[in-house]
C-alpha cells in the first residue's frame, strides 16, 4: 500500500464514523509463524521443480516478501500488529443507506479492500465506531509497522475547524471552510490572486464576520490618494467614518 491510501475514505462525500484499532503482537510468535510459513512455501517450490513444473509465481513473491519481513523483524526494524478498520454509515432511509453502502464498497474495492457488512452484528458494529475505545467486532488482519503507518490520514480535504469564521465552500467535498487564524502562533495572512480574483471581497467578508466575534478591524487602504483608515468595532455606538491620513 502507498502512503495516505485511506484518503478516498476520509474525503468521502458523506458523513461517516471511522474507527481504527491497533493491537501489538509479540514478535517471537510472529517469527515462529513466519518461519513455518517460509518452510511450507520453500517445500512447495522445491516440489514443483523436482516434478519439472514451473513454480507458482505468486508463491515465489510471497516467499520473498516473507523472508524480507522475517529479516526486518529479527533486526527489530519492524514490529507486527493486528489492525481493525470499522465504518458506520447513517442515512435518512433504507434506500439511501443501501446506495451509500454500495458507494463505500466501490471506493474500498478500488483500493483492493473487501468491505463486509456486519450482518446480524449491527449493534456491536455501531458501538465499535463510537468514542468508547472498545472493539466489539474484533475483525482484524496482520500488518507490519511500515504498512500500518500508511493508514493514518495525514492529508484531508476537510477544512472545517471547531471555531472561527466561515470563508466559503470547499469544492472538493462541499463542506464548509471554517478557520480562526488567531488560534495560530502567527495570525498574519497574505492574500494573493490575479486582478479581479476577489481579494478585496474576501478581506471585506472576513472583516464583517470577524466583527461578530468582538474583533476590532482597522482597514488601511493607501494608494496615490491620501490613505483611508476605518476603525470598526461591535462596541461602537455610531457607524464608522473614514478620515484621510496626511502623507508627508
Q: Does residue 140 contact residue 21 with C-beta atoms inside 8 Å?
A: yes
Phi-psi region of 211 (alpha: psi -120 to 50; beta: other; left: phi over 0): alpha
Q: Does residue 209 contact residue 182 with C-beta atoms inside 8 Å?
A: no
pLDDT at 38: 92
Q: In this model, does residue 231 exceed pLDDT 60?
A: no
128-151 per-position pLDDT tens digit: 999 898 999 999 888 888 888 888
Distance CA 62, CA 80 (A): 17
pLDDT at 233: 54
According to the per-residue pLDDT averaged within each range, which of 107-116, 132-141, 158-167 is highest? 132-141
Stated pTM of the model: 0.55
Amino acid at each position: 500500500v502507498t502512503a495516505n491510501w485511506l484518503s478516498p475514505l476520509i474525503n468521502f462525500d458523506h458523513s461517516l464514523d471511522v474507527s481504527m484499532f491497533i493491537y501489538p503482537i509479540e514478535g517471537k510468535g510472529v517469527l515462529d509463524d513466519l518461519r513455518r510459513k517460509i518452510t511450507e512455501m520453500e517445500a512447495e517450490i522445491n516440489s514443483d521443480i523436482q516434478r519439472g513444473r514451473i513454480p507458482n509465481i505468486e508463491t515465489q513473491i510471497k516467499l520473498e516478501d516473507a523472508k524480507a519481513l522475517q529479516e526486518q523483524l529479527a533486526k527489530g526494524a519492524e514490529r507486527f500488529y493486528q489492525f481493525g478498520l470499522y465504518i458506520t454509515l447513517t442515512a435518512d432511509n433504507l434506500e439511501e443507506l443501501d446506495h451509500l453502502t454500495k458507494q463505500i464498497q466501490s471506493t474500498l474495492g478500488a483500493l483492493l479492500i473487501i468491505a463486509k457488512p456486519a450482518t446480524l452484528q449491527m449493534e456491536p458494529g455501531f458501538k465499535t465506531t463510537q468514542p468508547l475505545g472498545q472493539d466489539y467486532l474484533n475483525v482484524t488482519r496482520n500488518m507490519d509497522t511500515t504498512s500500518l503507518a500508511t493508514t493514518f490520514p495525514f492529508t484531508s480535504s476537510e477544512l472545517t475547524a471547531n471555531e472561527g469564521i466561515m470563508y466559503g465552500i470547499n469544492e472538493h467535498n462541499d463542506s464548509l471552510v471554517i478557520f480562526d487564524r488567531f488560534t495560530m502562533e502567527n495570525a498574519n495572512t497574505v492574500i494573493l490572486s490575479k486582478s479581479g480574483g476577489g481579494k478585496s471581497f474576501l478581506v471585506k467578508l472576513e472583516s464583517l464576520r470577524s466583527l461578530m466575534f468582538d474583533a476590532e478591524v482597522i482597514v488601511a487602504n493607501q494608494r496615490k490618494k491620501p490613505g483611508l483608515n476605518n476603525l470598526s468595532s461591535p462596541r461602537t455606538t455610531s457607524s464608522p467614518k473614514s478620515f484621510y491620513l496626511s502623507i508627508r
